[in-house]
Amino acid sequence: MANTKIDAKTIIPGLNSNSQDWKAFHEVLRKRYGRKTANAIWTTAWQKRGNASVNTTTLRAYMRDQGLELDASNWESIKDTGIGVADGIGDFIGDIVGIGKWATIGVLVVVIGGSGFLVYSVIRRPDKYASLASATGAGAAKGIMKV
């Protein structure tokens, strides 16, 4: 087993460190001691000096890839899942259509949001939209059938 003493050159992130500092700290440990020992050292340091403000989606994703699962609030867990799903959908559709992931996600938000607003409006005031239905194919078809 490798020597697990941390020398003065290896700086453990402090209370004011950001998530990138914690990620860089783990990368140094992993290169020096290997993943298993790095994870053990990193976890001990995190328990003593880590804080919720640096427990970001990026840090959780990186640490998950390293075999560690950081605790997250319920909201953060939902956000992580949502980001993963949105990335996957954006990549998939973006590859098919030939536009970027974020442009695809933007178009989907506008289309789904607009459709949702339209459905909400029709449900809320169906009488207002009855004249619109008569001017479209559905209303025209009823008129033709009566003749």
Q: Give pLDDT, residue 13.
A: 87
| 104-138 confidence digits (pLDDT tens) | 667 778 888 888 888 888 888 877 766 665 655 55
Rounded Cα distance between 70 and 26, Å, is: 14
Q: Give pLDDT, residue 101.
A: 60
Instruction: Reply yes or no on whether the pLDDT at 99 is more than 70.
Output: no
Task: Give the chain's largest Cα–Cα span.
Answer: 92
Q: Give pLDDT, residue 144.
A: 47
| 71-82 confidence digits (pLDDT tens) | 765 444 445 455
Closest CA to 70 of 81, 82, 59, 84: 59
Q: Give pLDDT, residue 94.
A: 60
Who wins on pLDDT, 130 or 101? Answer: 130
Q: Per residue in 53-89, is it b (16+ CB within 10 Å) or e — as a string?
A: ebbbeebbebbeebebebebeeebeeebeeeeebeee
Q: In this structure, what are the phi and psi dihedrals at residue 68, rounded to the nearest 5 degrees?
A: -115, 140
Rounded Cα distance between 92 and 137, Å, is: 34
> What DSSP character marks residue 54?
G
Within 8 A by CB and 6+ apart from 57, the residues are 76, 79, 80, 83
| 35-83 confidence digits (pLDDT tens) | 999 999 988 888 888 877 788 888 888 998 999 888 765 444 445 455 5
Confidence band for 22, pLDDT divided at 50, 70 and 90: very high
Q: Give pLDDT, residue 134.
A: 62
Rounded to two decimals, the pTM is: 0.47
Confidence band for 31, pLDDT divided at 50, 70 and 90: very high
Closest CA to 42 of 31, 137, 53: 31
